[in-house]
Amino acid sequence: MVVLHIKQGDESQFLLETSVQATVDDTLRRIVMIFNGRLKVYRICAEMEMLAEYGPSLPPEMQGLTEEQIKDLKLEDEWAELCIPSGGFRINKDVCGKRNGCQPMENMLKILRKAIEEAKGIVSKEQVKSNTNLTEQHIYDALDILKGTIMIVYPQNLPPHDPIRKELENREALEGTDSNKRVLDLSLTQLWFAGKELESGKKLLDYIGKNEKTKVIMKVQHRGHGAPGREPRLTEEQQKELMVREFKRREELKKLEEDEENSYLDSSWADSNQLKRSFQGLNNISWKPH
């Protein structure tokens, strides 16, 4: 099986195992699904970190308002008494006014934070360094961990307007947000290899050959942005190794030059007492015992 090292720009994203017989269309579809799935996992994790601190989200009409404004407008959070974490909560007011301030107790906090760490680890870019391939199942597994954890900590579930619940139910509205700019649209995404765009209707072998036991770098790019930059001839690790070797070489040359500059000190003509000893007949005297 061929391994595709997927990048966006110069940034590594994940490794994908496939076959040279796979079509460009199917490959691109898988890449987009995994790419967007990773983003989804990270969005949920970010919201769960806020959930662990400040509790569930307030209704949209109450977010950002002061307590006085909420009172004046006679607004009420109808979900506050329904969506209580297991084991109770303590008050930790959200200064941003987005969440209700009902922070879960310590034992539930540990469960939330452990799930966040585990889910992030599954889809982490660090998996590239350990040569671990990412699949659609990894995305599903990470999402299942997050969803299961929410049901443990909040048996009655989160409010329907909470961004975590909306993400888990695929109701998230990303339009107009920075997160939306990162999401790939399958119809507007291109796949590039060695400076060439992979065309729809072709197979991977049309570009990378028939050797299944290979690893190549491919880049995803928004359509209309032109060709992505080519990969450097040397990898980052190779560049570091080259720099270390060059530094050692220069240090060795520097030491040789210093040795040559000081070598005259060992010469007889550089000895200030040489003339005195020659007059006294003390040159070439051996002090070995008889």
Give tens-digit pLDDT for 31-51.
Answer: 999 999 999 999 999 999 999
Q: What is the pLDDT of residues 225-281, one digit of tens each?
A: 777 766 665 556 767 887 888 888 888 888 877 776 666 555 665 566 665 666 566
* Contact call for residues 220 and 35 (beta carbons, < 8 A): yes
Give the percent of the chain with pLDDT over 70: 86
Residue 271 is encoded by which pair of tokens?
């000895």
Separation in Å, CA 279 to CA 145, 176, 274, 282, 284: 95, 98, 9, 8, 13
Question: Other C-beta atoms within 10 Å of 211: how many?
Answer: 10
Token pair of 160 as six digits = 């329907």
Query: Taking Cα atoms as reference points, which of 32, 40, 34 lies closest to residue 191?
Result: 32
The answer on pLDDT for 288 being more than 60 is no
Specify the pLDDT at position 175.
Answer: 87
Question: What average pLDDT does this structure show over 11-24?
Answer: 96
pLDDT at 111: 97
- What ranges make up the beta strands (E) of the chain? 2-8, 11-18, 89-91, 102-104, 189-193, 196-197, 215-222
Place of tokens 């007492």: 273
Rounded distance between C-alpha atoms, residue 10 and residue 144, angstroms: 31
Please say if the pLDDT value at position 222 is more than 70: yes
Locus of tokens 């000895």: 271
Instruction: Judge whether residue 25 has pLDDT over 80.
Output: yes
Looking at the predicted structure, is the pLDDT value of residue 123 above 70? yes
Each residue of 200-217: pLDDT tens digit? 999 999 999 999 999 999
User: How much is the mean pLDDT over the chain?
Assistant: 88
* CA–CA gap between residue 74 and residue 72 (Å, rounded): 5
pLDDT at residue number 69: 93
Query: Average pLDDT, stretch 164-169?
Result: 97
What secondary structure letter does DSSP report for 74? T
pLDDT of residue 176: 85
pLDDT band at residue 150 using 50, 70 and 90 as cut-offs: very high
